[in-house]
Amino acid sequence: MKTQATLPFLPFTRPGIDEETIAAVAEVLRSGWLASGPKVAQLEAELSAYLGGRSVRSQTSATAGLEMALQACGIGPGDEVITPAMSFVATANVIARVGARPVFVDVDLDSRNIDLAQAEAAITPRTRAIMPVHFAGLPVDMDRLYAIAERHQLRVIEDAAHAIGSTWRGRRIGSFGDLVCFSFHPNKNMTTIEGGAISGGSPEELRTIELQRWHGQVKSGADGFDTLIPGGKSNLSDVAAAVGLGQLKRLADFNARRRELVARYFELWGRGAPLRLPERGDAGHSWHLFAPLLPLGEMRISRAQFIETLRGHGIGAGVHYPAIHLFTAYRKLGYRDGQFPNAERIGRETVTLPLFPAMQLSDVDRVVRTVNEVLGAAVAGRASA
């Protein structure tokens, strides 16, 4: 029987790439066509079919997609975009990069999703859009979100980086709504190594997205070129698309396995968990992350020490995410401590525990057992200090 010391290291996430996908990548490498080509076109077509026939355009990252979505909506200097104070910083960065102002609002402590009451209260005459985040794959209340947007004539740019395969009332995120941006980073539910995609958009907006991702260029005839806007370069490669095609085939199984693993976490911890569990949601939750909150006020060790202790037991952990408004770049805009208490508490206390499809239920048992032991010692030590 393996002892704790001899068990393999368990990271908090790991992509699952099968041999068929590796062979498909090798085929692309041998083809001589490595940049955007037939595989990118195929991936966009298959993603479109997966999302009910909506238009899909791929990019090199969800960050690029979010920025291009803002540009497609004509959002820029003087505009405001409402977004949660707790997310990966890219959510706010793209707003600032187009010259608009990110207007932060707090999140719910357990769902980690944007507080829609606060979002509506934050609307001003300068507000052009709301950019919600489907945190960890748990959908925002879409009915309420779009009702607010319709009342105030706002665009919605969904940061669905965590939510490929999530559903709201039986409908896949990205199959409806306004502009929806996905991430295919290696730690997401499906990957293209690095990459992303936008679902939705009018013909004019799709044209803007296409121009933004390839230098603003258009071709005419065999030798004609024009540059219509000073675009960037965010086109996906066929190598990346080959990986994405293999992943998309397995996405339903990946997400089903994630739900099984999370069910095991909830089963073992139940109501007496030594940490605060995230909102469980329903079958529409795709569970990109499993990120409970530590009882830091009761512990004699810091979060960093907790993570290092887990690592010493062969278990990886992450932090998703610090509160955005407390970063230097956003303090410069006037944001300060105490404005968004839930986001700040999550930023202090959150810890991401292992969750990926190749895990076994016994791996969950190991994580729960180890966390219980570490927290038990940390809390007992605090009580006796």
Longest dimension (CA), the chain: 80
Residue 380 pLDDT exceeds 90: no
Same domain, 179 and 264: no
Write the CATH number for 59: 3.40.640.10
Backbone CA torsion sign across 357, 175, 122, 120: negative
Same domain, 257 and 223: no
> Does residue 136 fall inside a structural domain?
yes
> Does residue 5 fall inside a structural domain?
no
Same domain, 217 and 295: no
Same domain, 66 and 171: yes
Q: Contact at 8 Å (CB) between 44 and 57?
A: yes
Same domain, 200 and 286: no
Could you tell me the end-to-end alpha-carbon distance of the chain, in angstroms, rounded to an integer? 37
Give the pLDDT confidence score for residue 3 in this predicted structure: 47
Give the pLDDT confidence score for residue 1 in this predicted structure: 37
Residue 5 pLDDT exceeds 60: no
Tokens 């793209």 -> residue? 94
270 vs 92, which has greater pLDDT? Answer: 92
> Does residue 212 fall inside a structural domain?
yes
CB half-sphere exposure, 319, CA atoms < 13 A: 17
Same domain, 239 and 254: no
Domain coverage including residue 136:
19-245
Give catalytic residues, as residue numbers: 188
DSSP conformation letters of 230-255: ---B-PPPHHHHHHHHHHHHHHHHHH
> Does residue 302 fall inside a structural domain?
yes
Same domain, 235 and 279: no
The CA distances from residue 190 to 184, 193, 221, 246, 264, in Å, are: 6, 9, 38, 9, 22
Residue 73 pLDDT exceeds 90: yes
> Does residue 10 fall inside a structural domain?
no
The stretch 196-216 carries a mean pLDDT of 96
Choosing from 211, 245, 279, the residue where a domain stops is 245
> Does residue 138 fall inside a structural domain?
yes
Choosing from 245, 278, 307, the residue where a domain stops is 245
User: If you average pLDDT over every residue of the chain, what do you get?
Assistant: 96
pLDDT tens profile 276-296: 999 999 999 999 999 999 999
The stretch 148-174 carries a mean pLDDT of 98
> Does residue 118 fall inside a structural domain?
yes
Give the pLDDT confidence score for residue 181 in this predicted structure: 98
Question: Going by C-beta distance under 8 Å and a sequence separation of 6 or more, which residues neighbour residue 300?
Answer: 378, 379, 381, 382, 385
Taking the model in full, what pTM does it have? 0.96
Domain count, the chain: 2
> Does residue 14 fall inside a structural domain?
no
Q: Contact at 8 Å (CB) between 32 and 253?
A: no
Same domain, 215 and 296: no
pLDDT tens profile 10-55: 999 999 999 999 999 999 999 999 999 999 999 999 999 999 999 9
Same domain, 223 and 335: no
Same domain, 284 and 337: yes
- Among 204, 384, 371, smallest CA distance to 275 is for 371
Write the CATH number for 357: 3.90.1150.10
Choosing from 184, 216, 245, the residue where a domain stops is 245
- Among 276, 257, 247, 278, smallest CA distance to 371 is for 276
Same domain, 273 and 302: yes
Same domain, 233 and 307: no
